[in-house]
Structure 1
């Protein structure tokens, strides 16, 4: 059995805690990765960008959760940075990279989806 949640929303600082609340049944790592991917949209495309957030859980014996955040800009690709201790930003994707089994980007003609998969 596969479970799936989908949210259509505007990427705003207020949206992140609302989505985390909707995902309260999921683990901390899932909520954190969703927040980081949503924050990347705000930081790189702007406050109020329309997004679709999907959280797809597989059967318990498969033990994975897939997170997808789709935005309307196929050109603004995420970049994994190495932030120094003194830098105030640039750690979001590094955090996703550390928590997830794998992550990537699917580019469409008029959108892109940044995704990651976590073990349950």
Structure 2
């Protein structure tokens, strides 16, 4: 099963994205919106993105967010208790089996792989996506 959506990354598009992903797990929704929020924060509102949620051959879920800037790479920050941002990739790092960046000449794809299938809703139904700070590649697998 593959889900794909193209949109302009804006603050208003994040709730719409969560609505499109409502049949997916909380972790899928959270990681996807964190990655789109990074695009908004670091490339600007209105940046075109492609979001993919893919079932892997190993029974996991891969989330991919592709944007047109191969130079702006994600940076895993270690935010302090008083920092107002910088937790998005740390959250993704904890939730995902692994994550990384695939660079092309005119784009990059930030991806993460989560345990379980693409449409395993959890009982937790929070609909918030915290903001985050700058984005650099981390590990590719756990």
Equivalent position of 2:89 in the other structure: 93
Task: From the two aligned structures, give the one with the greater helix fraction.
Answer: 1
Instruction: Give the aligned length.
Output: 116
Give CA deviations for 1:4-38 in whole Å, capped at 9, x if unaligned: 01111000011111111111111000000000000
Runs of 4+ in 1 over 4 A off after TM superposition: none
User: Residue 71 of structure 2: SS of its match in structure 1?
Assistant: coil
Provide structure 2 residue ranges, at least 5 long, that are not aligned to the other structure: 117-142
CA distance in 1, matches of 2:83, 2:107: 30
CA distance in 2, matches of 1:118, 1:51: 20
RMSD (Å) for aligned C-alpha atoms: 0.8
TM-score scaled by length of structure 1 = 0.94
Higher relative contact order (CA 8 A, sep 6+): 2
Task: From the two aligned structures, give the one with the greater strand fraction.
Answer: 1
Provide structure 1 residue ranges, at least 5 long, that are not aligned to the other structure: none
Deviates more, 1:35-44 or 1:13-22: 13-22
Give the Å deviation of 1:57.
1.7
